[in-house]
Structure 1
Amino acid sequence: MASAESVTYGALKALAGGRVYPDVAPASPVKPYIVYQSVGGTDETTFDGADTLQNSRMQVSVWSISRSEAASIIKQVRAALTAEPVQGVPIGAPVSVYEDDTKLYGSQQDFSIWYQE
């Protein structure tokens, strides 16, 4: 039985040196790293009940010590999540962020991911 998280992790686990985490990174992680989190999606429940085909809006954030590295890795994320077998659909373009507290550069993008439950 698949989940949006397992599908996402399976596609991203080789990126950022394997530093790919659900929801939040551990304390003091090695950089760069990727964090992914389900932030909604499309509910396919009908009068007949829930469908086994489910959807998740997966937000992926890349964190790095440089803007260029964050931008490069989010491109790799996009390639991994839009390719077979995931075939995710980007929801908007990547958003660049800077975290003043940690002095890290980030790049975030959302993807619509369908999976069989």
Structure 2
Amino acid sequence: MADPIEVQLVAVLNPLVASQVFPLIAEDGTTGSYLTYQNIVNSPENTLSDGISINNTRMQIDCWADDYATVKALEKAVADALTAAAFTNIPRSSRDGYEPLTKKFRVILDYSLWWN
């Protein structure tokens, strides 16, 4: 079962890529632009009096596209969508890449997501 933050994240990202948002890896046969995500670490913020008051999840979001211009546009669309999201998020880093086996351009985004 997905964490509540994963459900919220996918809901925010789905409109950007016609619901082609996948945990970890894309489904076989996926074409065009798509997104993958993975939970890097979940760190609950604990207090002695209240237990877990808020969670911080580091999430990696990978943008995939057939060309560099499209993947960079998708990176911006993800950033804009997360800025407008109902949950607090902080961009931590991004890096570009290319995967020769899939012939896809890639941008790897690292976000810190805060949620209850």
With the length of structure 2 as denominator, give the TM-score of the two structures: 0.87
What is the identity, as a one-letter code, of the residue corresponding to 1:97?
A: G
Unaligned runs of 5+ in 1: none
Paired position in structure 1 for 2:76: 75
Looking at secondary structure, tell me which structure has more strand per residue.
2
- Verify the 8 A CA contact 1:11 1:86 in the aligned structure 2: no
2:104 alignment counterpart: 104
- Verify the 8 A CA contact 1:35 1:62 in the aligned structure 2: yes
Q: Is the 8 A contact 1:56 1:112 kept in 2?
A: yes
Identical counterparts, % of pairs: 26
Query: Which structure's relative contact order is higher, taking Cα pairs within 8 Å and 6+ residues apart?
Result: 1
Q: Distance in 1 between matches of 2:19 and 2:13?
A: 8
Amino acid corresponding to residue 111 of structure 1 in structure 2: Y
Matched, 1:37 2:15: no
Kept in 1: contact 2:17–2:33 (CA 8 A) = yes
The question of whether the paired residues in 1 share the 8 Å contact of 2:33 and 2:64 is answered with yes
Tell me if structure 2 keeps the 8 A contact 1:63–1:104.
yes
Where does the alignment leave 5 or more consecutive residues of structure 2 unmatched? none
Equivalenced residue count is 114
Report what 1:62 is aligned to: 63
Other-structure match for 1:90: 91
- Looking at structure 1, the residues matched to 6 and 41 of structure 2 have their Cα atoms a distance apart, in angstroms, of 12
Conservation of the 8 A alpha-carbon contact between 2:96 and 2:106 = yes
Residues 50 and 100 of structure 1, relative CA distance in 2, 3 Å threshold:
farther
Residue aligning to 1:10 = 11
CA distance in 1, matches of 2:86, 2:110: 18
